[in-house]
Structures are given as structure tokens and as C-alpha cells.
Chains A and B, each alone.
Chain A
């Protein structure tokens, strides 16, 4: 049972949103710390540009497109859930978002396979260490988001917990924005 505490909103913002913003806030500082460390190192090592030249911008660009599209579906799901109050429709859109995430991960897996076979492993150089660590941390967030999305979609299909569609959407946009930072820093900057 939900405590009464959960139903109050003295600050004028729902508790769920407050909680998700808290999670996003703590994630921002985690990725912020990692990326700041990367940028400091990158500035100190001009030679990393040669390594960065071996990343595949086109694959990165494709993945950016996939993630942005999936975010669009997250927005549509939110609209369906909140304005139309149509659970099944929201669930369907969430499923599209889920498949966007899945495509992203599959492409990433293929990309990493190519790079690792070409000899660029996590230990070969500082750049590749950051490349795999930052993208890997991001990918685990994508995976976590996908799992939660399935749970939320399952409930939404039965018309329950529709407010959660918005919450998972906020999180998904955040994951998307992290990638928007990673893509130029890891792929484009050469």
C-alpha cells in the first residue's frame, strides 16, 4: 500500500518527478566527472587524436539517429498516456522506444567487435580506455532504461501507473543527452 506521504505534494511537483530528477541529477555528476576527466586527459595528450581517427563516425551518427528517434517515441508515449490517457497506445510507443534502444546496443556490439578485432582494446591506449569505459557506462544505462521501460509498458497496457510513462521518458531523454555529449567527444573530435 502506498503511504499517505506519497500522495502529498507540498512543493507543487509530484513525488515521482522529484525522484526521477534526483536520479538524473546524480547521474549528471557521475557522467560529468568521467567526461571532465576525459577532457583533461585529451587536452594533455595531443597524440590521442590519431587514435580517435580510428573510430567510425558513420556508425556513431547512425546510433545518434536511432537514439533520437527512440526519444521521439518516448515523447509520443507520454502524450498518449497523459493527454489521451490511452494506456495500450502508450505501451506500444514505449515498445518502439525499447526497440530503438535494442538497435543501439546491437549496432554498438557490432562496432566494438570490429574495433576489438582490429586490435583497439580497452588497454591499448588511454583514449581507448576512456572510449570503452564511457560508452560502456552509457550502454549499461541504456540497458537499464530498456528493462524498466518493459516493466512500465506492461503496466501501462493494463492502464495502471500511467504517470510512470512520463518518468521513464525523463530518464530516457537524459540517456539520450549523455550520448549527445559522448558522440562528438569520442567520435568527431580528431
Chain B
């Protein structure tokens, strides 16, 4: 900021735009942009969920017409699974967890009026929206959408004659690259706002964990995505110009793409995991009325995880033809990462100790996140251990494992965040009873989808096959409690249908609560962080008067206080009290 420019006054900076377009579509307000990301993310989640419905129906009832979709041909099947994965990670988990919650929460939680660079923020969303349009457009071009898995291994992805989707592959690649650009732009704001624009008095260790998590996630993303952007440029050249970077026939190396992809792909898991962990931390503290157990330890474990996450990528490539000796190193680094993650889990559970736990909807989602993610975490050990991975690689065991990590992250984490901050976002309380029906209607079928898939993987079922009829070993009868393998597939599909049906409850709940829900007030959960100081929903400019911070983010049940919470913005009540 140049010294020459006069510091704008708070009033002058924030007159809300009158025009509808300027207010909702072309806005630079961080809350509006957060909503844009959220709505786009939820819309893409519905598409990704529809894809899952279509291919799960095909797996359960091969060759039958899928209601609402039609026949699923082999190329359709490949395109559906590929884009289901791509959409759920890049167009659902990323925009909702990192961008929507990041945009909504960071300025509110660090106590300032907007992001540092509102126009870059708007540009970030516009690029992101464009990327979503490009991806969806790939379904309507000649040859259809790309079907070479979300990992897009060349030569299949590089050569049109192999994939039979020359244009679809390129559109897929361009969409993903645009999405990366959007999040690099978004990251500028997350890091500058959280680092520089904190309210007076807010020290590093007073920042709410969720802000830390989103900032660290952005840094991890920035550091890991570069090589893949370079890889995307090379792959694009291979597809459209005719170079041979990844084509062995012309001196290229297909394994190189795998390194570039997974060097990004593994940290990417933590990029979406960390915001979900942050949301969970907020929830657990609020609803067990406890100070976060060992705040600094959590940060250190996150740093350790972040650094280690750059050293484990080749565990995705154990059997890909890399030098076998490399597997030893990556087994060790992969298992090392279990230490900080396990510690983080222990710390979250320790926060519950001697708390005062209320099991309402957000808390249920938060606790479910820990429980389900724990399953995802422990099953990952099987895959990180090179000797066991020889068998499990590319089976449904892998698939079930990463759905036990990504589902808690992308779906449970999102519902946790939405149910917690819904009062702040819209000024109305969500209905708790409907919320609990929706919770159980999601969690129980979720487990019933993926537990059978663990078994199918253990039985040797490999991935991305549209019909197992040609594999006698995968059509066996009586493998589990008298059920055959096809019965397990049907069970998973039926559970998916039930889970999808229960999502209607959520939308009904949102609609009814917005219409008839009780007013939320500023601080319905009696929470301590700065966003609860603003009116609900926060006006343009957020705070009537920008707050000053007096203490850490999680001062619940402080022994000196009658109230069981002590907000960050409340001044000291006498000499010697408060910060010691």
C-alpha cells in the first residue's frame, strides 16, 4: 500500500451495489463469491452424483436400461467414472471446501471487511466457472467425453486413436488446467488476507484452526500443482501438436506423467482434507464447550503432514514399472505420514475428554467425519505397505479406501460446515430434526455402499470394468453371509439409491428453514470466533466496527468466567485478567 494513497474510511469503502447483477453476479464481496462457489459446487455434486447413479446401476444390473440415463455403453461407462472422479475432486471438494468456506470464513474470522484483492477473487471464480463449462461441454463433442480415468495416464490420454475421444481428452485437460489457474488466483487472497489483514491483537496462535488449515492447504496446492501444470502443457502438446513427450515411440516416457500427476495428486488429498479437518475442529470445540486440545500440536502435525505429503507420491506407482528399489523408500515415507495423522486424530478425540457434549446436527457431522475418516486412514496402511499393495493395487479395496477419505472430506465436511455456519450465512436456524434424519439417512447408506466394496476388492475385483461377466472368479456365489459377488454389487447400488434419496431431505430442510426457520441472531451457538460478532447474515463490509482481538480462538469453559465461552472480541474486564 503506497503511503501516498489516503487510507479509505470504513464507510466510504462499503456502499452495497444496488444493481442485481452487480450484487449477485459481478460482485467482489467475499460472501457473495463464497455463495457462487458453493452453489456451483453443489450443482456439480449433483451431476457427479448422477454419474455415480448411472454407473452403479450398470454394475448392479449390467446391460439394463438405467432410468433417466438409458443404456450405459462401455465408452459411456468409462466417461462416467472418469468424470465422476474429476468432478468430485476438482469441482466439488475444491470449490466447496477450499474456496467457498475459505472465502466466507477467512475475512470474517480474521476480522476484516473483505479479501485483500476482491477483483482477483472475482476473476478466480469466473475462471473456475469457465472451467466447469468446458468440462461439461466435453460431453457434447464428437467422440464423447474423456474416459481414461481421472489420472489420465498417457499414452491413452495423449493419443486420439487409443482413447477414441480426441476432442474430449483435450477439453478435459483444458478444464482441469483452468481449474488449477482459478485456485492459484484464489490462493493469493487466502494467504494475503490471513497473513496480513488480521484484526489488531490477533497473533498467529489466535487464528482459528480452520483459517490455518485453508491457508496451509492453499500453500500445499500452490507448491504441488506447478509440475502438473507443466505436465498438462506437455500433454496438450502431445494431443494437439503431435509432440511425443509421453509417447515411448518418439522418445517420450509415459511414467513421467505419473510422477508429475501424483506429485500433485497426493498433496491434493491433504489440500481438501485440511479444510474439512479445520471445520471439524471448530465444531468439536463449540459443541463440547472445550478449548481445542493442544492447539500448537495440531499445527505442528499439519506442518509435518504437509511436508511429508511431498515425499510419498510414488506409492501410487508401486507396480507401475518404476525401479523396484524405490518402493522401499516410499513405503517408509508413506507409513511415516501415519504418525502425524494418527496424532491429529488423538488430539481431536482428546478434545472431547471432559467436555460437555451436545449431539446436534453439526456435531453429528463433525464426529462422523472423525469416525469415517479413521476407517479411510487405517485402510490406507494396507496400500502404503508395498508388499500388500501388489495385491490390492487397482482393486475395489483402493476404491473403497479413498471413498472413505474423500466422502468424509467432500460430503461430510461440507454438511458439517453448512450446518454449522448456515445461521451465519442466511440468518435462519436449520431444523435440527430434519437435519438428523438427513444425517442418518446419509451415513448409514454410505457405509453400506463401501463396506461391500472393501470385500469385493479383497476378493480380487479390479476397477473400471463395466461388466464382470467375463471374469468367472468375480461372479462367484456365496462369498459373504451367503451373498454372491453380484449380490454385493446390488447391495452397494441400492444403498447408493437410498443415500441419494435422502439428500432431498437436506434441500427440503434448507428451503423450509429459509422460509419459516427461527431467526438466528448473532451468536446462536455461543461461539468465540469473530464471525459470530457480526449480524446474521453479515452485511456488506461485515463488521459495523472492525474488531480487536484479545485472546485465543477457543476459550470455552474458562474457570474465571460464569459464561462457558469467552469471545475473542470481548475486552479484558480488569487488570491481569485474560491474556497471561
Please list the residues of chain A having a beta carbon within 8 angstroms of any beta carbon in chain B: 1-11, 13-16, 18-19, 22-23, 25-34, 36-37, 40-41, 44-45, 85, 122-123, 125-126, 129-130, 133, 137, 161-163
Contacts and interface: CB of A to CB of B under 8 A. Distances in A.
A45 B193 CA distance: 47
B243 A123 contact: yes
Interface stretch (B166-174, B183-191, B431-439, B502-510): B183-191
A6 B192 CA distance: 9
B301 interface: no
Nearest to B218: A22
Contacts of A22: 187-188, 191-192, 222
B252 A37 contact: no
A34 B1 contact: no
A2 B12 CA distance: 10
A33 B177 CA distance: 15
Interface string B95-117: 00000000000010000111111
B49 interface: no
A3 B226 contact: no
Contacts of B524: none
B17 to A, nearest CB: 11
B197 interface: yes
B243 A15 contact: no
Contacts of B228: 33
Given A26-B225, A34-B233, A123-B241, A4 B113 contact: yes
Interface in B240-269: 241-245, 250-253, 256, 260, 263
B21 interface: no
Most buried by B among A5, A11, A29, A162: A5
25 contacts: A1-B14, A4-B197, A5-B112, A6-B1, A8-B197, A11-B195, A15-B1, A15-B197, A19-B117, A19-B120, A22-B188, A26-B226, A29-B225, A30-B227, A30-B230, A32-B226, A32-B227, A32-B230, A40-B256, A41-B252, A122-B243, A123-B244, A126-B251, A129-B237, A130-B245
A102 to B, nearest CB: 24
Closest A-B pairs by Cβ, 8 of them: A29-B226, A33-B227, A33-B230, A3-B114, A34-B230, A5-B197, A129-B243, A30-B226
Contacts of B237: 122, 129, 133
Interface string B104-144: 00010000111111101000000000000000000000000
Nearest to A25: B222
B321 interface: no
B562 interface: no
B223 interface: yes
A126 B196 contact: no
A80 to B, nearest CB: 14
B462 to A, nearest CB: 30
A137 B241 CA distance: 15
A112 B14 CA distance: 52
B196 A8 contact: yes
A16 B195 CA distance: 12
A122 B237 CA distance: 9
A18 B192 contact: yes
Nearest to A44: B253
Contacts of A126: 244-245, 250-252
Nearest to B543: A4
Nearest to B120: A19
A25 B222 CA distance: 8
Contacts of A30: 226-227, 229-230
A119 B460 CA distance: 52
Nearest to B256: A37
A133 B13 contact: no
A162 B5 CA distance: 10
Contact of A33 (B2, B107, B115, B231): B231
B19 interface: no
Nearest to B255: A40
A26 B230 CA distance: 11
Given A1-B14, A3-B118, 4 more contacts: A1-B13, A4-B8, A5-B196, A133-B245
B202 interface: yes
Contact of B8 (A7, A9, A36, A85): A7
Nearest to B247: A126
A11 B13 CA distance: 23
A148 to B, nearest CB: 13
A106 B57 CA distance: 58
Contacts of B193: 5
